[in-house]
Structure 1
Amino acid sequence: MTGTGRPGPDGPDEPDAEREEHQAPGATGQTGRTRAGAAPEGERPEVGKAVRDTRLGRIGVVMGGVGPYVQLRPLQGGREWDADPEHIEPVTVLEVLSVRVAEANANSRTRRGLNQG
């Protein structure tokens, strides 16, 4: 294998082909990681996709839209907020996982009485 995506002496370079088929068009960031909430520029992300509100620095799930705004809800649930579509960017799957793990850890400490002040 050549690692270039071009056929080598053993045939096509399979790992590059696999990586490309798992990514939606326009769904990669500069690092090449898959983005969880990618949407074409100028369009609202799909309902259920995770995105970052860059104005507030919060990650949320798209719940819908009202007027010019996109409604987001925290990954762990809670109160929705309105975000300007111009201030929304997709997040990586790793970022979503990180937020969910942090929330699970916080919940586990609370259940054990470790976060009581």
Structure 2
Amino acid sequence: MKSKTFFGILFLMCVSLPALADHWESLACQWNGGNYQPYDMARRQWIGNLGYGFVRIDRCNEAIFAAHEGLVCNWNGNNYQPYEIWRNIPMGKVGYGFAALENCNKTVQYSSQGLLCQWNGAKMAMVFQL
């Protein structure tokens, strides 16, 4: 029984750890002087509108953990909006997004091949990541 448990844990570690690293290997939550904002360590740039972020570091870490396919959520001053990490551009209509971080994180996690859903002020619309 102990050997099965050991191999089960070993399998989970081998499968899970690389997947976790893919999500946030270059992201960190950094204090920007007013709040915690996702920061791309590889490119040395803030993600999202400068000065906007999360009051609590655990919420920032939730966004980083949910990052997927080069996208991460951040507060834009009005809502939580997905941002393309590499170019630091908002996905969809600027200033729009989700009232709840959980919904923004879900749309990022379900994004596929550069497509995701985003609120445009009137309805949910597909947005293509160039």
The two structures have a TM-score, normalised by structure 2, of 0.34
Structure having the higher strand fraction is 2
Structure having the higher helix fraction is 2
The two structures have a TM-score, normalised by structure 1, of 0.36
